[in-house]
Amino acid sequence: MLFSPWGDVVLKVYRVGESSFTYWLDRLERRGEVLESRVMEDVRDIIEDVKSRGDEALLEYTRKWDSFQVDSPRDLVIDRARMEKAFTSLPGDLRFALEKASDRIRRFHEAQKENSWFLYEGSGTILGQKVTPLERVGAYVPGGRASYPSSLLMNVIPARVAGVKEVVVCSPTPGGEVNEALLGAAYLAQVDRIYRVGGAQAVAAMAYGTGLIPSVDKIVGPGNVYVATAKKMVFGKVDIDMVAGPSEILVLADDTAPPSYVAADLLSQAEHDPLASAILITPSQTLAEEVVKEVESLLKGLATSTTARDSLANYGGAVVCSTLEEGIDLVNKLAPEHLEILTRDPWEVLPLVNHAGAIFLGVYSPEPMGDYMAGPNHVLPTGGRARFSSPLGTRDFVKYSSVVSLSREAFMELKEGVVTLAQWEGLPAHARAVKIRE
């Protein structure tokens, strides 16, 4: 770690290759593991309880953990009429922002739509792929003070664009408090029903069904460690979007990047969660040191400074590399959720980036634009999973069926090869099913 002349700053400067950097990198890559292991047994018990007791368990957990006194399952339902009422009562500027965001998200995801296709061969062979929307999807949306209307839009709109017939939402209402902006976003996104249920019990209800909540084909949406662990446990009974971890931002910058912009962008993610990571990678030691100073300045008076400080102290860093190329290699190793490229020519760097959830090019494309208004989905792989997975999109709400149609001519052309392979694999019934048609 490099010496800092500013005393005990929250954002530390590291140099690639030094022992302090290696220790920091190892700690970064292992964050969140302990938390998940601690809650697994509790989550498993909750899932089994909901499977066996259904709505009775949901009511009990809602009274206990959400301090929301409900008498019957019907008290947990919010219908379309209530959503519409909430939307029309929102302040005009908020309605406008939600509508604009919805429109941009919808247009982006419409461009992702895939259609069924077929190949026709002269011998009478028709091969193809049939694209079919899922029938019912459940979205988990955090409730109360931590509720995010933008997340609801990002999770639900792609499902509607894909043609999903029914979309339901589970969102807790702590103390019975309903977030009107969340209801308004649900109205815009065409949610069918909202259930005032949260936590692992909501995930279990959507996976297995209760008298009130129907079982779904897929569960999407963010949540705390209990929600994330429950999603992992019910995978296989239903599909899930991904196993999401704490938020991440990585800024790859050279000496052309304004330090105040970099510092502000790092804080935009550090304020999410003490486990969030906000990292600068740069070949410029001068930039690293200036960003450290800017971070300290911007933290003063920031309402979320306590959370941001914890995040930066534990999982943040200003990493100095020898060259920009070395920095790009580190980017690909970390495979960040959000990557900002603030260099002389970001488009020259883009082809060299192989692993990142969302990529933001240039100083006027800060990560918060992607969170709210740009259009691409902000549900992204975290924890290095961008090495093998992608942002949530329209394709996540459809399934693909192969289609095969052979004429007799095509059948006769292929049958000898099928019989040969089946016999070599020791599957005589396979061969017979072909030879019987000769």
Active site residues: 337-338
Q: What is the 3-state secondary structure (H, E, C) of the chain?
A: CCCCCCCCCCCCEEECCCHHHHHHHHHHHCCCHHHHHHHHHHHHHHHHHHHHHCHHHHHHHHHHHCCCCCCCHHHHEECHHHHHHHHHHCCHHHHHHHHHHHHHHHHHHHCCCCCCEEEECCCCCEEEEEEEECCEEEEECCCHHHCCHHHHHHHHHHHHHHCCCEEEEECCCHHHCCCHHHHHHHHHHCCCEEECCCHHHHHHHHHHCCCCCCCCCEEECCCCHHHHHHHHHHECCEEECCCCCCCEEEEEECCCCCHHHHHHHHHHHHCCCCCCEEEEEECCHHHHHHHHHHHHHHHCCCCCHHHHHHHHHHHCEEEECCCHHHHHHHHHHHCCCEEEEECCCHHHHHHHCCCCCEEEECCCCCHHHHHHCCCCCCCCCCCCHHHCCCCCCHHHHEEEEEEEECCHHHHHHHHHHHHHHHHHCCCHHHHHHHHCCC
